[in-house]
Amino acid sequence: MMMKRNEEDEIQVLGTKPKKVCRKWVILLAVCTIITTIAVMYLFISKAVVNKGETDIARLKEETMQESRFPSEISMIEINEDSINDVPLRIYSLVNLQAELSMELPSRKDTAVLLVAQAADIRKDNKGIVGDFILQGKQLATGKKKTGYCAIINGNISLGNSMSDDVKDYCISNKGYFFRQYALVVNGEQQENRLKGKAIRRVLAKQDDDLYIIESINRESLYDFSEALADIGITDALYLVGGDAYMSYRDKGQLHEHGEHKPLPAMNYIVFKKK
């Protein structure tokens, strides 16, 4: 005699006759389970996003409202060179300076300006600014292709990596500055980037509370450059326009300029001045 085969909608208990279970209840139970799982995941993700936004704002306030560790009369740039992993670096220590963004190149006669570098990238097609860009509370460009950001409130800088609009909106409401670029180092960890080839690389970087502009002396791949930054202990690093991009700095009263100044309408700079 052939043994009866158990179907998917049957449960057989030894010593009893098989009892059919209504298929619709099985389907209903499965649907309820899926809905519950989705709801729990949504609440978890939503909470994570909210908490991330709160963390960004808390970090921004802490970093941009703190008092300087240096006497007010000391505002300067210290320039050093170092090499790690066979990547030579030029390091500009920004001591007690205040920052701002500008759509114009500052006057070369302004001795209060100690360093100027190109900040956000310019599109090749329409020559517009790439990514969110806030100038004194006014939004001049939008976009989140690059998740790294620099926020400036009261002349002080906070660096981060987020697609959230929380920090950008805070800068707008406080008439601050904001731009997006590639994050190369976040919380001491090297970040993956898709930029290929070799070029002179430049970043705005932090090591704990100390602020730097760091550039490669030679043409480097972005991977080697960002790895070197992480290995020397940089906490956060935000890419700045490299290659032949314009940069100037004042050392012992002498103005030094390199790179090419391109008079484009969307050309923008990060400017460091004496306090």
The residue with tokens 């809905």 is 35
| Residue 72 pLDDT > 50 | yes
pLDDT attached to residue 62:
76
Q: Distance between CA 213 and CA 235 in Å, rounded?
A: 13
pLDDT, mean over the chain: 84
- Residue 243 near residue 43 (C-beta atoms within 8 A): no
Mean pLDDT of 184-206: 93
| Residue 191 pLDDT > 50 | yes
Neighbours of 21 (CB within 10 A): 12
Prediction pTM value: 0.77
Lowest pLDDT segment from 95-99, 164-168, 195-199: 195-199
Mean pLDDT of 244-258: 94
C-alpha of 177 from chain center: 14
pLDDT attached to residue 8:
36
pLDDT attached to residue 186:
96
pLDDT tens column, 216-237: 999 999 999 999 999 999 999 9
Distant-in-sequence, close-in-space partners of 28: CB < 8 Å, separation ≥ 6: none
Mean pLDDT of 60-65: 71
Mean pLDDT of 76-99: 96
Coil, strand or helix at 109 = coil
The beta-carbon contacts of 54-63 under 8 Å, at least 24 apart in sequence, are: 56/160, 56/162, 56/164, 56/166, 56/167, 57/166, 57/167, 57/170, 59/158, 59/160, 60/151, 60/153, 60/158, 60/160, 60/167, 60/170, 63/156, 63/157, 63/158
pLDDT tens column, 115-127: 999 999 999 888 9
pLDDT attached to residue 58:
78
The amino acid present at 32, given as its one-letter code, is C
Q: Distance between CA 42 and CA 48 in Å, rounded?
A: 10
pLDDT tens column, 171-189: 999 999 999 999 999 999 9
